[in-house]
Amino acid sequence: MPQNKQVLLDNRPEGEATAANFKLLTTETPPLQDGQVLVQHHYLSLDPYMRGRMNAGKSYAQPQPLGEVMQGGTVGEVVESRNPRYQPGDKVVGMGGWQEYGVVNADQPGALRKVDTTHVPLSHYLGAVGMPGVTAWYGLVKIIAPKAGDTVAISAATGAVGSAFAALAKARGCRVVGIAGGPDKCAYAVNELGYDACIDYKVHADAASLAKALKDACPNGIDGYFENVGGMVLDAVLLRMNAFGRIALCGMIAGYDGAPLPLAYPALILVNRLKIEGFIVSEHMEVWPEALAELGQLVGSGKLRPRESVAQGIESAPEAFIGLLKGKNFGKQLVRLI
């Protein structure tokens, strides 16, 4: 059995996460038991939600245990199997965590899923045709529920969720406006992802300034908003929301370091009779087949061309993750393990 490099959560961050919160370990991969498969991970997914789970406090998921492999999505190849449903060479997606190999009880529901890489690259099953893509689909289709002609907006517009959101919203006849950090990301959003406009939040010092830019980009107001960030960005969007607007609340990355995120204009929720709904996509597994079918079709047809930032080697995972939290990634952040 192969040697396995793993990254563990060694201690909890105080304020910002740092590389010192993690520990690299090399272990022996245990022999397989009946029903198990050995997966060599090709790519590891890095996602903002992982920062919240590093904290000890109450959240929507249990905290990441100390001294254990950091949890996260993986794609890879079965290299050994003692399960009749899986053969060596099968390409699979699962939650293998921050390690090079995973021993999986393959009969456990949801533990492992075979994927077809004929038209969709393996890495995309961690992004556009994986959890981030389904997140975009659920927030748009089930919460925002737009009709043709609506204006919808999203923060973190060029990330894995934002890329899928743009393609899904354009397919429904919406005007789609993004909010992203930096001119390069905004140009990519418009020129490659199909956004009608994209606003660089970094050039705005406060919510009032960002709201003015949103007014120019959304002359008819905003009917639906997909929130990944919170803080000043949410304040600015609330100033531009139309009556009976819908907000899908998926992430609050501006507050992941523990600082409070007070709302500047909470009265607008009442004034405009807004619907704000937080959601966790893993609680809605019933929509995944429908969502993945549409996302796979968008990628296979070239209507969704997601970009990836790829770090090399398991050792690079902590720094790549910290960079993701600071917005240094361009598109879906992955770690390549082979």
Instruction: Report the half-sphere exposure of 336 (CA within 13 A, side-chain side).
Output: 9
Kindly list the domain boundaries of the chain, sorted by start residue.
3-127+306-336, 131-282
Per-residue pLDDT of the chain (338 residues; tens, 9 = 90+): 799 999 999 999 998 999 999 999 999 999 999 999 999 999 999 998 899 899 987 777 789 999 999 999 999 999 999 999 999 999 999 999 999 999 999 999 889 999 999 989 999 999 999 999 999 999 999 999 999 999 999 999 999 999 999 999 999 999 999 999 999 999 999 999 999 999 999 999 999 999 999 999 999 999 999 999 999 999 999 999 999 999 999 988 888 777 788 999 999 999 999 999 999 999 999 999 999 999 999 998 999 988 999 999 999 999 999 999 998 898 899 999 99
Q: From CA 229, how far away is CA 12, in angstroms rounded? A: 22
pLDDT at 257: 74
Q: From CA 112, how far away is CA 115, in angstroms rounded? A: 10
| CB burial string 320-334: b at 16+ within 10 A, e below | bbbbbbebebbbbbb
List C-alpha distances in Å: 136 to 15, 131, 154, 263: 28, 9, 10, 24
First vs last Cα of the chain: how many Å apart? 17
Q: Which fold has domain 131-282?
A: Rossmann fold (3.40.50)
Is the separation of the CB atoms in 73 and 94 below 8 Å? yes
pTM value? 0.90
Q: What is the pLDDT of residues 176-194, one digit of tens each?
A: 999 999 999 999 999 999 9
Is the separation of the CB atoms in 212 and 325 below 8 Å? no
Provide the CATH number for the domain formed by 3-127+306-336 in this structure: 3.90.180.10
pLDDT at 255: 80
Q: What is the pLDDT of residues 46-79, one digit of tens each?
A: 998 899 899 987 777 789 999 999 999 999 999 9
